[in-house]
């Protein structure tokens, strides 16, 4: 039994903040941000929107496209680093909003790699025969944990959610071929939320050593991609689209260069979405399908890297 992506959805909050908008409140410019990151604008959630609200909208979109009703869902996994609350999970909130009654629901926290981790879990859940249908969501309101006075960091992040519906399928030529996951806690201090959970303080803000992240990211992601290719006998020339975590255009381009992958086959949304952490891969996948670039039967390479560090790569035949 294979697990196949049957529907992909996305949701972006209405409010758009451009680089020029940011330059009115911090000492920066569109040229500085765009040339270093590829980001031109980002969506920001309204004050009354939580990760569950964004994730719910993306889930509705994915379920509709997959023609799946909420009572057919056997598992809901939400990848997020900006949950509504530390507990209960954002997944159970979305479960209730959808009216999905008969399934386990839980969150996965692997920072920006969360979606790849969640996808792998859902894939194994289906391949092991434990269930037939899984809803995998990446949802973030990073604007709530961003220090808008810190110009090195705040320019990078945005809010949004993406979702995929995975379903058991007998067609062995389609579906998730394989995923390789990694972590290395020795990089804990390169990217983290500034406060511990003490009971008396708010969560704090995203804190990052940008150049350190960049150096480790390219090396680790390249190894993950090579690992998934080797394990599943995949030639880089067979990949139709790279759909990477949209952290920084320079990371994507550097990985592509290392694995000798053509730049024009990298699906990029970073210009319009910025870095939406666990939401960025499914949001990019949704955008690629919606504009007709990514089509059924395409062989796709997903990868991501995030705080921890965590990272992973996955290959799927759509």
- Cβ 55 to ligand ACO shortest distance, Å: 19
- Cβ 181 to ligand ACO shortest distance, Å: 15
The beta-carbon contacts of 288-295 under 8 Å, at least 24 apart in sequence, are 288/241, 288/243, 289/8, 290/10, 293/241, 293/267, 294/240, 294/241, 294/243, 294/267, 294/318
246 neighbors 305 (Cβ within 8 angstroms): no
User: Which residues neighbour 10 within 8 Å (Cβ) at sequence distance 6 or greater?
Assistant: 58, 61, 160, 161, 162, 163, 282, 283, 286, 287, 290
- Cβ 147 to ligand ACO shortest distance, Å: 12
Footprint of ligand ACO (CB under 6 A): 28, 32-33, 36-37, 112, 151-152, 155-156, 191, 208, 210-211, 213-214, 217, 247-248, 251, 275, 305-306
286 neighbors 162 (Cβ within 8 angstroms): yes
Compare residues 36 and 127 and give the one whose CB is closer to ligand ACO. 36
- Cβ 311 to ligand ACO shortest distance, Å: 8
Compare residues 4 and 273 and give the one whose CB is closer to ligand ACO. 273
Compare residues 92 and 110 and give the one whose CB is closer to ligand ACO. 110
The SS3 call for residue 210 is helix
The SS3 call for residue 235 is coil
Compare residues 33 and 134 and give the one whose CB is closer to ligand ACO. 33
39 neighbors 205 (Cβ within 8 angstroms): no
Residues with catalytic roles: 112, 245, 275
């Amino acid at each position: 039994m294979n697990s196949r992506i049957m529907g992909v959805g996305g949701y972006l909050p209405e409010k758009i903040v451009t680089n020029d908008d940011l330059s009115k409140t911090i000492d920066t410019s569109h040229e500085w941000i765009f040339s270093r990151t590829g980001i031109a604008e980002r969506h920001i959630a309204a004050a009354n929107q939580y990760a569950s609200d964004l994730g719910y909208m993306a889930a509705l979109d994915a379920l509709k496209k997959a023609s799946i009703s909420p009572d057919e869902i056997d598992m809901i996994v939400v990848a997020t680093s900006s949950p509504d609350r530390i507990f209960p999970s954002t997944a159970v909130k979305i479960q209730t909003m959808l009216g999905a009654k008969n399934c386990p629901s839980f969150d996965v926290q692997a920072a920006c790699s969360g979606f790849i981790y969640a996808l792998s879990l859902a894939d194994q859940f289906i391949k092991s025969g434990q269930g037939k249908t899984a809803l995998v969501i990446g949802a973030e309101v990073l604007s709530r944990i961003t220090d808008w006075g810190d110009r090195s960091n705040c320019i990078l992040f945005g809010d949004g959610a993406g979702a995929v519906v995975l379903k058991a399928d007998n067609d062995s030529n389609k579906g998730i071929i394989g995923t390789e996951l990694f972590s290395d806690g020795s990089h804990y201090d390169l990217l983290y939320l500034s406060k511990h959970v003490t009971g008396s303080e708010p969560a704090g803000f995203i804190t990052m050593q940008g150049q350190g992240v960049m150096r480790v990211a390219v090396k680790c992601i390249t190894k993950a991609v090579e690992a998934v290719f080797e394990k599943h006998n995949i030639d880089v020339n067979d990949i139709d689209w790279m759909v990477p975590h949209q952290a920084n255009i320079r990371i994507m381009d550097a990985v592509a260069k290392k694995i000798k992958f053509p730049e024009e086959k990298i699906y990029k949304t970073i210009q319009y979405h910025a870095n939406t952490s666990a939401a960025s891969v499914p949001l990019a996948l949704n955008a690629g399908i919606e504009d007709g670039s990514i089509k059924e039967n395409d062989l796709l390479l997903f990868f991501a890297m995030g705080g921890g560090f965590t990272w992973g790569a996955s290959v799927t035949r759509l």
